[in-house]
Amino acid sequence: MGLSGSSGTGLADLSALGLSGSGGSVTGGTAALLAALGLSGSSGAASATVGAAGTASAGLLNAAGVPATLAAYGNGHIPAAALAPVGTTGSRMWQPAAQALTDLIAAAKADGVTVGVTEGYRPYDEQVALAKSKGLYSQGGLAAEPGTSEHGWGMAADLRLDPTAQAWMTANARRFGFVADVPRESWHWAYRPSGA
């Protein structure tokens, strides 16, 4: 977990982590620790930045586990500057997720396993088109309600996995912050910054 300073932000999140006192203020011991680490802002408040596998993530996580920096843009409207390439197919993901998946792919390769990426970030208009062609998940289809997709946050990837790669993912993906969270889609893996 990394921490970054920010005037007056993140106190509720620090409280949830047990790092603040009553009323949401940063406690003396926590404030001293943050200051000693050079992690407090000018007002002494701090915000938590959480990432998987040592990857720093930008922003606090909201109640849905979406980093505040992404939530500010809106699902399916993430700017190109916040995305990074992943895999060899031209797919992109939110930068911390892309780094975590790149690390995962390298670790799998070191174990003799190939993990391929078929899709990452999905813009809103593509979510609408997919919902029309595949149907909504809530109605037996394979698409999330447009504007709610984990792909729209750049925090999910559809992967090409043979049985060996699927078993490797099941055993190792959590180390990199990835979980299989859609029961009917063994290829869908979502990035969960630690603490989400």
The count of other CB atoms within 10 Å of the CB of residue 181 is 12
Is the per-residue pLDDT at 159 higher than 80? Answer: yes
Express each pLDDT in 69-115 by its tens digit: 899 999 999 999 999 999 898 999 999 999 999 999 999 999 999 99
**Both tokens of residue 144?**
């999330």
Is the per-residue pLDDT at 11 higher than 80? Answer: no
What pTM was estimated for this model as a whole? 0.68
- Asked which of 58-67, 103-112, 123-132 is least confident by mean pLDDT, the reply is 58-67
Terminal alpha carbon distance of the chain: 12
Domains and CATH numbers, the chain: 2-71 (no CATH), 80-191 (3.30.1380.10)
Strands (E) across the chain are located at: 2-5, 46-49, 83-85, 92-94, 116-119, 156-160, 178-179, 188-191
